[in-house]
Structure formats: C-alpha cells, structure tokens
Structure 1
Amino acid sequence: MSKKKGLSLEEKRTRMMEIFFETKDVFQLKDIEKIAPKTKGITPMSVKEVLQSLVDDNMLDSERVGTSNYFWAFPSKALHARKRRLEDLKKQHEEGKQRQASLQQYVKKAKEGRQDTEERAALNKELMTLRKQKETLNAELEKYKDCDPEVVKGMRKENVTAKEAVSRWTDNVFAIKSWAKRKFSLDDSRLDKAFGIPEEFDYLD
C-alpha cells in the first residue's frame, strides 16, 4: 500500500486562506494551530511557516497585541492584490512592446544599404529571442486577465520571473547600444535620442 503524499506548501497556503475567507474572522496563532489540522489537514508544525509566507506575500494581515499574534484576511484584499499584480504585468508588457519597437526600427535602419554581416545575423537572432519573450509575457497576461483565485498560488514565483524578464530586456537594450556605438561610432546621447531611450533607463533595484 502506497504512503499518503503530504500537502505541498502551495496547497497548504491555499487551504489556509480558505479558513479566513470562509469564516471572515480574526484568529490568534494558537487558534489556527488547532483549526488548520482538523479542518484543512495542515500539520500543526507547519502552520506558523505557512502563515508567515502569506503575511510576507501581503495576502494575510498580522498584528501583535500584547503577547499574542492575530491574523486575518478578507476576500476583497485578495482581489485587490490580484488586480495590482495584473496592472503591474500590463505595464511591463507595454514597456516591453515599446523597447521592441525601438529595436525593430534600429534593425531596419542598420540593414539599409549594407551587406549581411555576422553582426547583423547576431542582431536578427537577438530580435527573435525578444519576440519569444514578448509571447511569454502575453501568455502571462492571459492567465491573469480574469483574476482567477488560482493565480494567488503562483504570485510569488511569477513576480521573480517577471523581474528576470525585465532584466533580460535591459540586457538586450544595452547590448544593442554597445554594438551600435562600435559599429557606427555613435555616442550614448545620440543613440538614446534617436530611439527614445530615457536618460534614467537602467536595471531595476
């Protein structure tokens, strides 16, 4: 007979949120440690870790009063959190589209009246990579469009992925600028002005 598989962290987080959404009540840690194992199958030893992960992700509110910690969450807060996440992704997507358009214009100009070179082939390959990244962002937006409650489980991971994607876009822009400076002897200010790159453009902290 196979051994019963335990709950994953994301399953525990989802079930923990159900306790607060279903009861719409405020609980002390000791109360949750009693309720969660009985009603949701969450082991007592993992209750504190699950609660802290939800607080860290701003899904759950916590306040210390005297010697006791209190926790609460309401469905409206989760909905607002998902809406903010959706708006952030839309903004990142729009910024990506603008950068891609600038790069496409640059590639078009670089091709005019010139023979194919290894550098141009590399640039075309880079453009294809950017297009695939754009498709990935579109797919992410599609997942979030209806603010599906299931999205809450993946928010932490998706936030890291989105930040990495922005960093890759930034890498691409700097790489193209560096290539253009060597190829056409252009300085930063002329390149930024020609392709609409803001002076403060840089990596995210």
Structure 2
Amino acid sequence: MITFVKSRKKGMTQDEKRGKLLEIFYEKKDCFQLKEIEKFASKEKKINSQIVKEIVQSLVDDDLVNSEKIGSSIYYWAFPSKAGQIRKVKIVQLQNDLLECSNKKNQLVEMIENCKKGKEESDEKNDIMKTISANEIIVNDLKQELLKYKDCDPKYIKDMQEKNLEIKDAVNIWTDNLFSSVSWLKRKFNVEESIINTQFNIPENLDYIE
C-alpha cells in the first residue's frame, strides 16, 4: 500500500515578507497606521499580523519606508520612486567600490610584476644561491667553534664578573635578613641562638660572602 504524504508548504523568508509589505505601500500609494498595515498584511499578503511591526521597523531602519509621528499616532508611507532612488544610489556606490577594487587589483598586479624583475631563474643566480648556502654553513660552523672559546672572551668574562657581584650582593642581603630574623626570635622568645639554628637547619658557620 502506497501512502502519499502531503508536502508542507514552505513559509516565506524574512526578505520575502519585507517585499510583500513594500508592495502594500507601492500598490496603495497612501499613508497608514500600523493597525492598517497589519490588516492589509494579514488579508492580502498572508503575513502574520503579530510580526508586521518588527518587519515595518526593519524597513524604516533601512530607509525603505518613511515614518512620522503626528499627534499621538505614527504614520508610515513609501513610494516606488523612493525605492528607485535608493537603488540608483546603491548602484553608484557599488560601481565606485568595484572601480576602487579594480584599481587596487591593478596596483597589486603591477607591484608583483616589479618584484619579479631581476628574480628570473638563471645559471648565474643558481650559482650565487649555492655559494650563499655554502658560506652560511661555514659561518655557522665557525660560530659553533667560537663558542668553545667564549670563556676567554673579555666581554663574556666581564659579564660573568658583574653577574657574580649581583649574586653575591643578593646572597648577602638574604644572609643579613636571616641574621635579623634570628636576632628577633632570640629577643621575642628568649631562646638560645643554637636552638634556633638547629630548629631551622641554619649552619653554625653561616656568614657573609666576601
């Protein structure tokens, strides 16, 4: 037995609904309040009246429909001539954008061609590139060899001496802080220094670095 399933009718898209509402204005060539537009939309264009306000506002935002508050009421209107003007302006704008993009494209093509000049493949260029690659290998080998003797480099030695001084100063500062802490503990808790050293694993011969 074959069962025929009735296909569901596809609903209108948002753009189609906008177009249908614009048709109301173009066909009737008049000004309307929202209630009137909702009535025409429901009866003539099969658009749910509950979403008409949102669609009309989107048309107003896109400057396709005019609106004006007169007294306590808001009136809406749109004429085909306005739509034509908007399309003309849009066409001019798109043509200008197209021209600008075309000019940029031509400039980029010209820049690419200029960059290619003098970079064509040749035996001479290939020989030069091989020489450069070989020299780069030699330079890298020499740098590695030089690293073996950096301990004799005066600049390296000077840098190490300065770092050693910084480390020594830091160690002495922490040593001084530790001595101050031990002294404070002795006074605060009336405890022998040897007990404090034992408790906190402080070497008995701890002293400043000269």
**TM-score, length-scaled by structure 2:** 0.53
Identity rate, percent: 45
User: Which residue number in structure 2 is paired with residue 104 of structure 1?
Assistant: 109
Shift in Å at residue 66 of structure 1? Answer: 2.2
SS of residue paired to 2:69: strand
Shift in Å at residue 115 of structure 1? Answer: 4.6
User: Which residue number in structure 1 is paired with residue 200 of structure 2?
Assistant: none
The 5 Å alignment of 1:139-154 reads: none
User: Which residue number in structure 2 is paired with residue 16 of structure 1?
Assistant: 21
The 5 Å alignment of 1:30-69 reads: 30-69=35-74
SS of residue paired to 1:27: coil
CA distance in 1, matches of 2:89, 2:96: 11
The 5 Å alignment of 1:27-176 reads: 27-115=32-120
Q: What is the letter of the counterpart of residue 95 of structure 1?
A: E
Shift in Å at residue 90 of structure 1? Answer: 0.5
Determine which structure has greater relative contact order: mean sequence separation of CA pairs < 8 Å that are 6+ residues apart, divided by chain length: 1
Residues 168-201 of structure 1: per-residue CA shift (max 9 Å, x gap):
xxxxxxxxxxxxxxxxxxxxxxxxxxxxxxxxxx
Gaps of 5+ in 1: 117-205
Aligned residues: 116
SS of residue paired to 1:62: strand
Q: What is the letter of the counterpart of residue 54 of structure 1?
A: L
CA distance in 1, matches of 2:10, 2:118: 65
**TM-score, length-scaled by structure 1:** 0.54
Gaps of 5+ in 2: 1-5, 122-210
Q: CA RMSD in A?
A: 1.3
CA distance in 1, matches of 2:72, 2:11: 32
Residues 132-166 of structure 1: per-residue CA shift (max 9 Å, x gap):
xxxxxxxxxxxxxxxxxxxxxxxxxxxxxxxxxxx
CA distance in 2, matches of 1:43, 1:106: 56
Between structure 1 and structure 2, the one with the greater Rg is 2
SS of residue paired to 2:8: coil
